[in-house]
């Protein structure tokens, strides 16, 4: 058993550097492919002052639009919450009004019967 463990440990020690080197080569290769294909590095290198200005204006415009939309959604949410709360508080009053209308109708019938 000890002999098997020693053999396995030696093989693992021998294989570890090979595995690490292959992994590093793959990562470096991918990074080089991305840079050659344009990637983020190509984008940054192709920026001119005009493109940078247009990008900044576009980003500021996007922030403004998102802010306006956020305020609109917040306002609608508050209106909805207000309506729900108002309906919740008016339910007992509506029930009393219905009861009073029914009582009023009965009183009118009694008055007509006289």
Question: Long-range contacts made by residues 100-105, C-beta under 8 angstroms, separation at least 24?
Answer: none
The DSSP secondary structure of 93-105, one letter per residue, reads: HHHHHHHHHHHHH
Average pLDDT estimate for 2-22 = 61
Task: Report pLDDT digits (tens) over 27-81.
Answer: 556 655 555 555 566 666 677 888 889 889 999 999 999 999 999 999 999 999 9
- Evaluated on CA atoms 6, 10, 16, 18, the torsion sign reads negative
Please report the pLDDT score of residue 37 as a whole number: 54
Q: Look at the pTM and tell me if it is higher than 0.85.
A: no
Q: Burial level of 39, CB count in 10 A (0-12/13-18/19+)? A: middle
Average pLDDT for residues 5-28, to the nearest whole number?
A: 60
pLDDT digit string, tens, across residues 67-105: 999 999 999 999 999 999 999 999 999 999 999 999 999
Q: Give residue 42's pLDDT.
A: 65
- Checking if the pLDDT of 17 tops 70, the result is no
Q: Secondary structure of the chain: what % helix, strand, coil (to 5)? A: 95, 0, 5
Higher-pLDDT residue of 3 and 77 is 77
Query: Rounded to 5 degrees, what are φ and ψ at 37?
Result: -80, 0
Q: Distance of CA 91 to CAs 10, 87, 88, 102, 106, Å?
A: 81, 6, 6, 17, 23
């Amino acid at each position: 058993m000890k002999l098997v463990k020693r053999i396995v440990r030696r093989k693992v020690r021998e294989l570890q550097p090979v595995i690490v080197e292959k992994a590093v080569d793959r990562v470096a290769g991918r990074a080089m492919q991305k840079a050659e294909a344009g990637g983020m590095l190509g984008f940054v290198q192709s920026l001119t002052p005009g493109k940078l200005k247009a990008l900044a204006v576009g980003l500021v415009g996007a922030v403004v639009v998102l802010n306006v939309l956020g305020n609109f959604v917040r306002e609608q949410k508050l209106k909805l919450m207000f309506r729900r709360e108002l309906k919740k508080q008016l339910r007992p009053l509506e029930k009393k009004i219905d009861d009073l209308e029914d009582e009023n109708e009965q009183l009118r019938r009694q008055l007509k019967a006289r």
